[in-house]
Amino acid sequence: MSQLLVITGPTATGKTALGVALAKLLDGEVISADSMQIYRGMDVGTAKPTPEEMDGVPHHMLDIADPRENFSAARYTQMAAACAEDIRARGKTPVVVGGTGLYIDGLVRGTDYAAAPSDPDIRRAIEAEYDRLGGEAFREKLAAADPDRAALLHPRDKKRLVRAWEVYALTGRTITWHDEQSRLAEPRYTAYTAALDFADRDTLYRRIDRRARAMFDQSLPEEVRRLLDAGVGPDTTAMQAIGYKEVAAYLAGTCTLDQAVEAVCRASRRYAKRQLTWLRRRDDIHWVRWPREPDEGDIRAAARGIAENFASTA
């Protein structure tokens, strides 16, 4: 069975730099596993790698979707697997880099997302309930039945939250259970998964806040305005990304710029907590916990260690 190298962890932990360093060591190419970097025109708010950050390493699964469409995990799984096979066929190493657990799980395990049933009438009723309760309350409701899936999803990810409850309502079984049934088949890949974090939580939160504030200096409001002007509606999956909904509220005049900045910082910290919750439930994670904010030397040293361990298990 083919093996993948996966670099994951919460936002703002240095995944991009480490992924590039590993790709250079292993003659590899990066496959992004970020559910918002797939959208064209969403660069600043998603911290999409710049050409300078890519440093000559090919990156896949970026800019593959129009932000007006709702991109599914099933579609990601199919396309990312095709990328991995193409990279391997050319004698190179796929390095999967990102923090979207649903995408990573689907790619590694070959999850059959079509296996669980669907009912349009039930879905519409659940969508109405989501609208009535609000995202936070609806996610809490899902967490009582399916804490694993709820931990993966943002409260504003209406489509996936509704889908998870639809499956539960129709079958009496959680979508996590259905996914696990598909995993009883042999997984598509084995994976060596390294997750990044900081020994001190305050360091992580400082980095998150600093990056969120920097996005506003790097023209995030202008990016959001361009998307809105291009017809990307408020109900699209893309516009639910952290940073975009908050800035859209500022542009609509419902909050101040300072309030939007603080809302993005707060939402980003909460997202990082959910990412860590998902990772801590797994027993196959190789943790890299930075004792301080990593510099280039720290990144290179971590890359060498991971590359050696990956090679020994391949």
Q: Is the pLDDT of residue 236 over 60?
A: yes
pLDDT at 181: 74
User: Across residues 67-87, what is the average pLDDT?
Assistant: 92
pLDDT at 121: 82
82 compared with 157, residue with greater pLDDT: 82
pLDDT per residue over 12-22, tens digit each? Answer: 999 999 999 99
- With bands split at pLDDT 50, 70 and 90, how would you rate the model's confidence at 114? low
Q: Please, what is the Cα angle at 185 between 180 and 188, to 5 degrees?
A: 100
Question: How large is the greatest C-alpha to C-alpha distance in the chain, in angstroms?
Answer: 56
Structural domains in the chain, CATH included, are 3-110+187-313 (3.40.50.300), 120-182 (1.10.20.140)
User: Across residues 284-304, what is the average pLDDT?
Assistant: 97
Model-level pTM?
A: 0.83
Which H helix or E strand runs over 8?
A: strand 3-8
pLDDT at 234: 83
- Nearest partner of 38 among 3, 89, 1, 78, judged by Cα: 78
Any idea which residue has 């669980």 for tokens? Answer: 116
pLDDT at 183: 63
- With bands split at pLDDT 50, 70 and 90, how would you rate the model's confidence at 157? confident
User: Across residues 130-146, what is the average pLDDT?
Assistant: 94
pLDDT per residue over 139-148, tens digit each? Answer: 999 999 999 8
Distance CA 296, CA 17 (A): 9
Percent of the chain with pLDDT over 70: 97
By residue count, the chain amounts to: 314
Any idea which residue has 């361009």 for tokens? Answer: 226
Distance CA 268, CA 213 (A): 11
Average pLDDT, the chain: 93
pLDDT at 112: 64
314 compared with 261, residue with greater pLDDT: 261
Which H helix or E strand runs over 99?
A: none
Q: Which two tokens stand for residue 80?
A: 């990312």
Distance CA 265, CA 211 (A): 9
C-alpha separations of 243 from 126, 223, 228, 239 in Å: 26, 11, 14, 9
Which H helix or E strand runs over 144?
A: helix 135-145
- With bands split at pLDDT 50, 70 and 90, how would you rate the model's confidence at 116? low
